[in-house]
Amino acid sequence: MLQDNAALSARDLHRIYHVGKQDIHVLKGVSVEVNHGETLFLCGASGAGKTTLLYTLAGLEEPNQGSVLLRGHSLYGSSKKLQAKIRNEMMGYIFQNYYLLPELTALENVMLPAMIAKEEAHEDAESLLYRVGLNHRMDHLPTELSGGEQQRVAIARALINDPEIIFADEPTGNLDSKAGQAIMELLLGLAREDGKTLAVVTHDARLASLGDRILYLTDGQLAGASGGVMA
């Protein structure tokens, strides 16, 4: 059962990759709860399993063992069609490499998830681009935007369907320190303003300290936790 304040709960997660004849055990029995409205950072060395954990919590990689509960229901126990619907409507995603479609404008990229859900999104997309400070760049293609601007578009896109939970995988990884700080502060501000639950993978301990809680992974297992700076 989910605790009353838990947005997402995972129990005994194992994830094994098969590479040739070798089995690589990336997650080794990880259990975690993410609270409603919480900003949770996942930290650890390269290869510790933090991105795999994020993707498993986010419905993007099914575990070999264990469960992920959303609203008390098993995410991976649902049909593939329902899983896709949950990802589109209840979850938002931000990645290190932005993953903007190069042939679409900033506005069109933000609208895309809502168009998949068959909803009118033009006004909402414009409003979000205003909120991330790109109202003057709506009609620009990704190649005409800086890295920081592309990530702002990606943040707006993640919010377009008003998701309950936002997952961000190294969202500042391709940015310099100043731009990375600005992006993280923007993301945290928007999430807290809208009451969103936010889970972030980062290698930057300084940025992680801005969150509510930090979980440390070592060799596929939770190695500890600490509180960050509360808003």
**Predicted pLDDT of residue 71:** 81
Strand pairing class (22-35; 39-44): unpaired
**Predicted pLDDT of residue 120:** 73
Query: Is residue 111 within 8 Å of 122, Cβ to Cβ?
Result: yes
The per-residue pLDDT for range 100-109, each reduced to its tens digit, is 999 999 999 9
> Please, which residues have CB within 8 angstroms of residue 88's CB and are 6 or more apart in sequence?
113, 116, 117, 161
Q: Which structure tokens are listed for 168?
A: 């961000």
pTM exceeds 0.85 for this model: yes
**Predicted pLDDT of residue 225:** 67
The per-residue pLDDT for range 118-133, each reduced to its tens digit, is 667 899 999 999 999 9
Query: Can you list the alpha helix ranges (DSSP code H) found in the chain?
Result: 50-57, 80-90, 106-116, 122-131, 147-159, 177-194, 205-208
The per-residue pLDDT for range 15-58, each reduced to its tens digit, is 999 998 999 999 999 999 999 999 999 999 999 999 999 999 99
**Predicted pLDDT of residue 1:** 37
Question: Would the pLDDT of 165 be above 50?
Answer: yes
Domain boundaries, the chain: 37-59+78-227
Which H helix or E strand runs over 203?
Answer: none
For the segment(s) 37-59+78-227, the CATH number from 3.40.50.300, 1.10.1740.10, 3.40.50.150, 3.40.50.10310 is 3.40.50.300
Q: How confident is the model at residue 202 (pLDDT cuts 50, 70, 90)?
A: very high
Strand pairing class (39-44; 213-218): parallel
Per-chain mean pLDDT for the chain: 91
For residue 42, which of 167, 190, 165, 154 has the smallest C-alpha distance? 167
